Amino acid sequence: MRSSKSLLPGEQLKTMVWTWTILMASAWSGNSVSAQSRTVLPVLSFPEAGLDDAAAYQGYQTRFFRDAGGNAVQVYLDARSGRVVTVMADAVNESVGFTVRDSGGKPVRLEWGSNGGVISGTGSSRSTEYELVANVPHVQIGWILLGSMRVERDLVYSGKHEKPFSAPTFALRELDEMITNLQRLRPAERARHLRLLDAPGVPELRSRLQPAVTLLSSGTRRGIKATQPAFDGKTHLSMELTIDPREATIVSAGPATSIRARSGRSIRFTVRVTTDASSLTPLARNEIFNAAFLRFTDSARMAAERASVGASPRTSADSAAIARARRLERDMRSVELLSAKEKLMAGMPNYATYFGRDMMMTALMMEPVWADAMAEHVIASVLRKLGPDGAVSHEEALGGQAIRENAVEYNGRLKTYFEATRTGDHAAAASSLARARELLENLQLVRENYNMLDDEFQFPVIVARYLGNSSVSPARKMAFLMDSSDGRGPRIDLLIRELRLVTEMAAPYARDPVVQNLVGAPRQDSTHWRSVSWRDSGAGYANGRFAMDINAVWVPRALESISNILATLGELGFSPARLGGADTGRAETPLGAFARAPESLQRAIETWNGAVKHFVVSLSADEVRAQVQRKVSSLPAGETAYWQGVLSTTAADRQPLQFLSISLDAGGRPIPVVNSDPATWLFLRDGDVPPPAADRERTLRDVRSLLRIYPVGLFVDGLGPVVASDAYASPAVWEAFEKDKYHSPRVVWGREVNLLMLGLAKQIAASVDASGRPRDPSLEPYVSELREALRRTTAAVDASGLKHNELWSYEIAGGRLLPVRYGASTDIQLWNVTALAVQFALSRLAK
């Protein structure tokens, strides 16, 4: 077989589809694992010639495989740090990583040693194997880390992976503390705890904190093997790193392993990673996507095949058809890699687990292209993890991360035990000790994070969409709602619990619409408010208490959705008393009042729709110009010159500006940061009728702020709309964003781009007839402006060469702005592959 790099674009597409079809058909059946080893091509590779700008990746490369159990496996090579990481998106989200440096201690850029990898398995164990090449005669390998992917993330975030290999090992403080506490117990009690951890003694337990590295000699291979059990001994990871002794020598000494080439200037070595953790159950393509979308992608594939036939050079139209089909296929594979019956994972490599917000946002955006059952998967996953008060889980901690979080709780219980013992409170001591032992019975018990608020209001929206889907029969909806197979009772009761929480949170402002009754964030400390929506970095909401997206977008839409849910449930036969929770014996809740008197819910919706007024910021042209100049002048000289040139060319700072602030401070004052969150409102707004004048005005105001040239607005040519512009905020906000760039003016998020494009497409479709003409002549300027916004956004994002990434950034050098991959970006991400829904929507948009 020729290398995939040597195939022509059309041949690449055919090979991609054929390989994936065979793999999906034969690689696994359920979770059974075959002992046979098989050579496989990657499911995906980045960067991909013809689709990605390799320079923007700055030496980063990655490949995705399916292991013998059907789990997604990612291998990435980061040339900037020399880090090699294998991520296993299985039931416990594991990873194995190591760092490669040259003889001078500098990171080595590695290359793939073959076109694919080898997968195998026997019993409960599964292995993935691949070859790497270092184009230097001598390498040192260290910072070997086995365990949860969260531990790998913490290592990299801490910067320790860049320290000398002789530096102290990366310690997990909570587990060290757990061992210390365990040693303080009396011998008999300590033995009980050790038995629960399947450890004969403390030394065995301590040995589980670091991988054990041994020399390996097998046949014609020499190398090392790093092994490590989970802290509770229930799962095991290993990594074998081997060389051909005829080509190189390998020596392991202390924290580093040395490999020297016998001759020549390069070293070839093989990495084999093995796990015995449980597998997930992948969903097939026809379980994920609906028939209309599959017909659309089949049509694109056939157009690409026709374009690939014939003499070169191809026309630009032929090249575009081939590239389009390749992108569609790549994004569909990304969805498949993240989709399992148990859950939809947020992304890889960093978030290969359940994230409620990511899953729900994706479900909303992918509704036109997904099979009906996907909404049921999402809703069931959320309800399965619902908190006692009805809160939606933001994120799960499982495997090694669950062990770490449960260890923190174990340490807290033993602290209480020791204190109660010291003071003679024997009852409290006995209770705390018993509760500590309970944790050890299942130290990998999944833990849920309920710290976010936006997902509470997103959930009613997706439920309303599902219940309002006419292609799903009433009988099927009823069966789904009454299903109790998850062991928590009928889903309808869990749903009511969540709706009750949402209406209780919305009730104060509905009764008295003043700023202090908006949905606010809890305190982080005496001077900061915690981020509780999607901009969940420290600087995300500029230290605001009341997030605009929650209060001006999600709460009003959630209440509208609850109105639709109550109506549909009534049609299905559920009484207002049950929907309101009256049959529980509790006093009437806001949900109960809304179920009994729907007109009161309509008044609440109307009140909440007015909450947007608190966030409006209006600036004159003089104010815009003065504040933008103040911001631009504060930047490094090269950036100041660049943005001054942009402003001089575009005159973007010569007009007034009105926008919605990112948040309100504790006093209810807008924090004037232009932001991309209005795109969510644009996307959620119903698009089945021409918008009334008030909605058109809001749409144009929001679109203009997003498409105004940065730093006045958000739009950067050749890059896309950044998620924030802090030009009108205080220097304290500038500093916070500069320290924490994740949701700053330095980044474009694919999620926001797709929300904007879907929203624009929806509003255009609602305003034109089947031929693409405005339904009314008065709509012509409105439609033209939205079409131009859609064109500009598409062109800029395409030009970045990074639009499949979770987020991307830029550098300014030599007077030019260069798009670059954001360092902590996710390579495949649920809400980024919503680009599929964008392409489908655009294909149906009348020209």
The mean per-residue pLDDT over the stretch 254-278 comes to 94
Token pair in block for residue 315: 């026309």
**Which of 260, 275, 290 is at the close of a domain?**
275
Q: Which of 617, 716, 619, 704 is nearest to 663 (CA)?
A: 617
> Does one domain contain both 143 and 66?
yes
How high is the pLDDT of residue 585? 56
Asked if residue 143 and residue 109 are part of one domain, the reply reads yes
Select, from the ranges 153-162, 290-299, 568-577, 838-847, the one with the highest average predicted confidence (pLDDT): 290-299
Q: Please tell me the predicted confidence (pLDDT) of residue 2.
A: 33
- Number of other residues whose CB lies within 10 A of the CB of residue 460: 24
8 Å CB contact between 805 and 832: yes
pLDDT reading at 398 higher than 60: yes
Q: Is the dihedral of CA 390, 454, 380, 465 positive or negative?
A: positive
* 735 shares its domain with 765: yes
Q: For residues 371 and 435, state if they share a domain.
A: no
Furthest-apart CA pair in the chain: how many Å?
90
Distance between CA 219 and CA 240 in Å, rounded?
A: 14
End-of-domain residue from the set 275, 294, 309: 275
**349 and 226 in a common domain:** no
Mode of pairing for the β-strands spanning 110-112 and 125-134: antiparallel
Take residue 439 and report the two structure tokens written for it: 């944790």
Distances in whole angstroms, Cα of residue 585 to Cα of each of 582, 588, 707: 6, 9, 53
505, 589 Cβ separation under 8 angstroms: no
Q: Are residues 792 and 761 in the same domain?
A: yes
pLDDT tens column, 586-628:
678 999 999 999 999 999 999 999 999 999 999 999 999 999 9
User: What mean pLDDT is predicted for residues 670-690?
Assistant: 92
Which pLDDT score, from 0 to 100, does residue 803 have? 85
Q: How many helices (H) and strands (E) does the chain have?
A: 28, 33
Count of CA atoms in the C-beta half-sphere (13 A) of 820: 15
Domain that holds residue 411: 173-190+400-445
CA–CA dist 779, 691 (Å, integer): 10
For residue 22, pLDDT beyond 50? no
The amino acid at residue 495 is L
Q: CB–CB of 457/556 below 8 Å? A: no
Residue 187 pLDDT > 80, yes or no? yes
List the structure tokens of 781. Answer: 């300027």
**Of 94, 804, 30, whose CA–CA distance to 340 is shortest?**
30
| End-to-end alpha carbon distance in the chain | 43
Q: How many CB atoms lie within 10 A of CB 552?
A: 27
**pLDDT above 70: percentage of residues in the chain:** 94
8 Å CB contact between 742 and 157: no
Read off the DSSP letter of residue 104.
T
Per-residue burial over 623-657, b if 16 or more Cβ lie within 10 Å, else e, is ebbebbbebbeebeeeebebbeebbeeeebbeeeb
Long-range Cβ pairs for the range 730-736 (8 Å, 24+): 731/634, 733/539, 733/542, 733/543, 733/671, 733/673, 734/631, 734/634, 736/538, 736/539, 736/542, 736/543
Task: Say whether the peptide bond before residue 349 is cis (omega within 30 degrees of 0).
Answer: yes
Contact 365, 357 (CB under 8 A): no
Query: Residue 715 burial (CB < 10 Å; 0-12/13-18/19+)?
Result: buried
Distance of CA 12 to the CA centre of its chain: 28
Both tokens of 21, joined, read 């079809």
How many Å apart are CA 481 and CA 650, to the nearest integer?
A: 55
Kindly tell me if the per-residue pLDDT of 20 is higher than 80. no
Q: What is the pLDDT of residues 226-243, one digit of tens each?
A: 999 999 999 999 999 999
Structure tokens at 123: 């019993």
Q: Does a structural domain hold residue 328?
A: no
> Per-residue pLDDT for 1 more than 70?
no
Number of domains making up the chain: 4
H or E segment at 75?
Answer: strand 72-78
Residues 440 and 482 in one domain: no
Q: What are phi and psi of 409, to 5 degrees?
A: -70, -40
Within-domain flag for 16: no
Let me know if residue 218 belongs to a domain. Answer: yes
Q: How large is the average pLDDT for residues 160-186?
A: 95
In a domain, residue 666? The reply is no
| pLDDT score at 29 | 40
Q: Would you state the pLDDT for residue 579?
A: 81
The whole-model pTM stands at 0.92
Same domain, 457 and 583: yes
- At 690 the pLDDT is 80
> Phi-psi bin for 546: left (phi > 0), alpha (psi -120 to 50), beta?
beta
Q: Which residues contact 284 (CB under 8 A, 6 or more apart)?
A: 24, 336
Q: Given its phi and psi angles, is residue 584 left (phi above 0), alpha (psi -120 to 50 degrees) or beta?
A: alpha
Mean pLDDT of the chain: 92
Q: State the pLDDT at residue 594.
A: 95
Identify whether 231 is part of a domain. Answer: yes
If asked whether residues 251 and 378 sit together in one domain, one would say no
Assigned domain for 306 exists: no
- Among the listed residues 758, 725, 724, 751, the one whose alpha carbon sits nearest the alpha carbon of residue 807: 751
Q: Supply the pLDDT for residue 826.
A: 85
- Is the pLDDT at 84 greater than 90? The verdict is yes
Q: Give yes or no for a contact between 283 and 70, defined as CB atoms under 8 angstroms apart.
A: no
**Is residue 388 domain-resident?**
yes
Verify that 647 and 792 share a domain, yes or no. Answer: yes
Identify whether the C-beta of residue 271 lies closer than 8 Å to the C-beta of residue 86. yes
Q: Element (H or E) spanning 111, and its range?
A: strand 110-112
Q: Kindly state the tokens that stand for 556.
A: 């009003």
422 and 352 in one domain?
Answer: no
Residue 564 lies in a domain: yes
pLDDT band at 337 (very low <50, low <70, confident <90, very high): very high
Q: What is the DSSP string of 665-717?
A: -TTS-EE--EESTHHHHHHHS--SSPPPHHHHHHHHHHHHHHHSBTTTSSEET
Residue 533's CB: how many other CB atoms inside 10 A? 25
**Region 386-397: what's the mean pLDDT?**
96
Shared domain for 155 and 82, answered yes or no, is yes
In 572-677, alpha helices (H): 576-580, 590-596, 598-609, 621-633, 637-650
**Among 335, 295, 300, which Cα is nearest to 320's?**
300
Query: Whole-angstrom Cα distance, residue 403 to residue 277?
Result: 14
- Using an 8 Å Cβ cutoff, are 184 and 202 in contact? no
626-634 contacts: CB < 8 A, separation 24 or more?
Answer: 627/727, 627/728, 628/653, 628/711, 628/712, 628/727, 629/653, 630/727, 631/711, 631/726, 631/727, 631/728, 631/734, 632/711, 632/727, 634/731, 634/734
The 10 Å Cβ neighbour count of residue 35 is: 10
Map tokens 């099979």 to a residue.
371
Note the pLDDT of residue 57.
86
Which amino acid makes up residue 68?
A
Q: Which of 256, 275, 294 is the last residue of a domain?
A: 275
- pLDDT score recorded for residue 581: 63
Please determine, for residue 336, whether its predicted confidence score (pLDDT) is greater than 90: yes
Query: What per-residue confidence (pLDDT) applies to 847?
Result: 67
Question: In the numeric block, which tokens belong to residue 645?
Answer: 């040139």
B/e letters for 400-434, b = 16+ CB within 10 Å, e = fewer, are bbbbbbbbeebbebbebbbebeeeeeeeebeebbe
Predicted pLDDT at 53? 83
Query: Which helix or strand (DSSP H or E) is residue 20 part of?
Result: helix 9-26
pLDDT of residue 35: 57
**Segment holding 269, helix H or strand E:** strand 267-275
